[in-house]
Chain A
Amino acid sequence: MTRIFIPPPSSDRFQTLLTVLPTRFADTTSTQSALGPALHATLAALAGRGGLVVLFQSTMPNHGPGALPSQPTEMDLYDTDKERTLYQPRDALWRDIAESCAEEGIGLSMFLGMSKYIDVGSLGTMLSL
């Protein structure tokens, strides 16, 4: 039986994996980020049991379900009624994921390390349901 969850005592494999991960993807060319499906997969992994998801994200989700359109022109929105839309989720999926996680007893911690627009208004919905 395959196990992707292992306890820390056998964590030398885990440490090895964490050590080689950055080099393994060093020559990656993918600029896409399928965050929605990734969170669906964690839901599948932890459903019926609960757990804690620790997410490290640095690209705006732009692939698969939950993909967000490109950055809105903020200058057009400032000082207008639509300014508040900058703080609201731009895709309903993020709220759905948050609700599913809450139901299943899954916690989510998020570390964002972005250099471009990442739409915290959408991603933050999952943390502030």
Chain B
Amino acid sequence: MKLKVRVISSLQPSPADLNFILVTSEYFSNLGSNGLRLDHMNRPELMHGTVDFDVTDSEIYWASNPPSHISRPFFSIEEPAHGPRKPELLRYMFVLDVSVEAIQSGFVFEACSSLLASLSTNGYPPGAEMAVMTFDSELHFYDLSVRPLSCRIAKSAQSCLFSQIKSPCWLCQIWMMYSFPFRKACSSTQQSICM
């Protein structure tokens, strides 16, 4: 896998600053009479504002996961990840407010239409994944892995409703699928699992 890293070089450091920049011995270069490195012309990262490098898939170029916090605002059965983070395909998450005002003003309809229109363009990187979530006073998740939904079925099934909103847990980890009519049963079970 080839990754591209874009290095944005800062402003030209003054010679006084250079005294404090430690570089490896291979990178060392004497300064010319104008105060610039002798190999300045051969160093694109010093010559240009942005430079694209082809890098290996070595871990040193990976972004690192943040240090773990004392508490997290959500419940998860997985330990927080440590160390370098493997580059993965981009995930899109579309979050829609479906409270009365959003529905009545037609904003949800327009948002959905725009998203539908955007699906037919090539705006998404190949292999990107996407999910939909809606919320009013509860959170609703949609399982998209099941058989293709027909409009009629989708009206009544394949969504998971989430009433325990103080510490939402991720439903890929603890998955239960509820159909819409079981709203009450769902919220009580969910609560017991989240506690």
Chain A interface (Cβ within 8 Å of chain B)? 1-8, 10-26, 28-35, 37-59, 63-65, 96-97, 100, 103-105, 111, 113-116
Contacts and interface: CB of A to CB of B under 8 A. Distances in A.
Nearest to B78: A48
A33 B151 contact: no
Question: Interface residue tally of chain B, by bracket?
Answer: 35 or more
A20 B109 CA distance: 9
Contacts, number: 244
Given A4-B172, A44-B170, A56-B111, A21 B134 contact: yes
Given A18-B116, A48-B65, A56-B107, 12 more contacts: A4-B143, A7-B127, A17-B149, A22-B112, A23-B155, A34-B135, A35-B97, A51-B91, A55-B97, A56-B102, A58-B107, A64-B165
Contacts of B166: 37, 64-65
A41 B142 contact: no
A1 B174 CA distance: 10
12 contacts: A3-B172, A5-B130, A14-B130, A21-B98, A35-B135, A41-B168, A46-B93, A48-B80, A57-B102, A63-B137, A100-B73, A104-B65
